[in-house]
Structure 1
Amino acid sequence: MNDIDYIPIAALNHYSFCPHRCWRMFCAAEFVDNQYTVDGTSLHERVHTLSQNDRGEVWQVRAIYLKSEKYNLIGKSDLVEVESGEVYPIEYKRGNKGEWNNDEMQVCAQALCLEEMMGKEIKIGYIYYAQSNQRQLVEINEDLRKQAIATLNLVTNLLQTGIAPPPVYSQKCRGCSLYSQCLPQANKKMQTYQEVA
């Protein structure tokens, strides 16, 4: 685990959502599909057909690889658009806007890569939610940048040490495809039992 070349951009999303899920996926190489992951995979298969379009004032490039030497990040964009000289990443998600900021973290990480690759500041990005057919604006501001870099440092440490963060039950667990591997409620009961014993 100590010879990590690059951190996958998606790992920041997963860690921000749930550190234990990130560990299971990127350290233990565990992954289980459910209806949400299958829908998401299907959406990304359609989106990740390498192409470029010129739509009048907007130039679009799909499925290009992004990389940052400075931040040790690598990943694949869903869509990058250039309009009036401004460049911005667009991340595709299957559902509606969630209650958490993990998707924004992923867009910010893509922006960090694009900035290095293009030598240009990226000020905004978008998340396209397929279910609502709407884009959500993501401001790549100083606060989000700091959160993304802090999360990147946590992910780097996780991948280097391989130490599993404890599972913590929350509302996020309801749709998680790894819930049956993790069993956060059972883990909590076991810890309580051990403390009492």
Structure 2
Amino acid sequence: MSKNMKNSLSLVTYNLSPSLEYIPIAALNQYAYCPHRCWRMFCAGEFSDNQYTIEGTSLHDRVHSTGDGQRGETWQIRAIWLKSEQYKLIGKSDLIEAESGQVYPVEYKRGRKGEWDNDELQVCAQALCLEEMTGQNIPTGYIYYAHSHQRQLVEINAELRQSAIATIKYVTNILKTGTMPKSVYSKRCTGCSLYSQCLPKATDKVKSYQEVN
């Protein structure tokens, strides 16, 4: 990475701050996991911790407290704000790296690779911000899973970009209208920290009872 690009990225990102005019990048991850959970967190302002969220917060705190600088041939900078005017996105990255002049985001997650694409969407959204901020094409990113101590390559291809842009539109609509997506029970619910507020199984039973009677 050139010295000018490094200084530009550092200065821009360190001066950013959250704004109600922008969509939190994390909201895309939550929506892709469960639209109802996204609404509860970002519209209703509800959040509860469980084992998984506490472990995740602890992991991010450790990552963000680690120093920046050069690691071999790779330049690293942590816990910086990313922003896109085009997509109205904002969020704090875990780690941005640059190697041989190529910049890419690295997102840290507590577990192992999941069955869904919500983490990949978050990395793609970070890449969209980085592209706008650096003028560079970002073809790849990574997810580091703490459980396996391995990185998963994320290809920022056309399909993933289209999915991220569509998700941005869905989240924007929820934030603007406040419309609550209905809760739908799935196996994802077992690890959700908001399950007790949502109770999708109970909701389905009540609905079935009302339809019968």
Q: TM-score range by the shorter chain?
A: over 0.9
Q: Which residue of 1 aligns with 2:138?
A: 122
Q: Which residue of structure 1 lines up, in the alignment, with residue 118 of structure 2?
A: 102
Displacement of 1:75 in angstroms is 0.2
Q: CA deviation at 1:156?
A: 0.2
Q: Deviations over 1:119-162 (max 9, x none)?
A: 01100000000011000000000000000000000000000011
The residue type paired with residue 54 of structure 1 is Q
* Residues in 2 aligned to 1:11 and 1:146: alpha-carbon distance in whole angstroms: 17
After the TM superposition, which of the residue ranges 108-117 and 45-54 deviates more from structure 2?
Answer: 45-54
Secondary structure of the residue aligned to 2:55 is helix
**Does the CA-based 8 Å contact 1:73-1:113 persist in structure 2?**
yes
Partner of 2:172: 156
2:150 is matched with: 134
Q: Percent of aligned positions with the same letter in both sequences?
A: 70
SS of 1:48's equivalent in the other structure is helix
- Report how many aligned residue pairs link the two structures: 195
Q: CA RMSD, aligned part only?
A: 1.1
Match for residue 169 of structure 1? Answer: 185
Task: Please say if 1:37 is aligned against 2:53.
Answer: yes
Structure 1 partner of 2:89: 73
Instruction: Note the C-alpha offset of 1:51.
Output: 3.6
Q: Indicate if the aligned counterparts of 1:4 and 1:159 stay in contact, CA closer than 8 A.
A: no
Q: Which residue of 2 aligns with 1:183?
A: 199
Match of 1:61 in 2: 77
Listed as ranges, the matches of 1:86-101 within 5 Å are 86-101=102-117
User: Separation in 2 of the partners of 1:17 and 1:32?
Assistant: 16
Contact (CA 8 Å) 1:63, 1:78: kept in 2 or not? yes
Structure 1: gaps spanning 5 or more residues: none
- Deviation for aligned residue 1:49: 2.4
Deviation at 1:55, TM superposition (A): 1.4
Q: C-alpha displacement at 1:196, in angstroms? A: 1.5
Deviation of the 1:13 alpha carbon:
0.1
Q: Find the residue that maps to 1:164 and give its secondary structure.
A: coil
Asked if 2 retains the 8 angstrom alpha-carbon contact of 1:115 and 1:122, the reply is yes
More displaced stretch, 132-141 vs 44-53: 44-53
Q: State the one-letter code of the partner of 1:189.
A: K
The answer to whether the 8 A contact 1:53-1:61 is kept is yes
Q: Residues 16-55 of structure 1: CA distance to partner in whole angstroms, max 9, x if unpaired?
A: 0000000000000000000000000000111112742201
Alpha-carbon offset, residue 56 of structure 1? 2.2
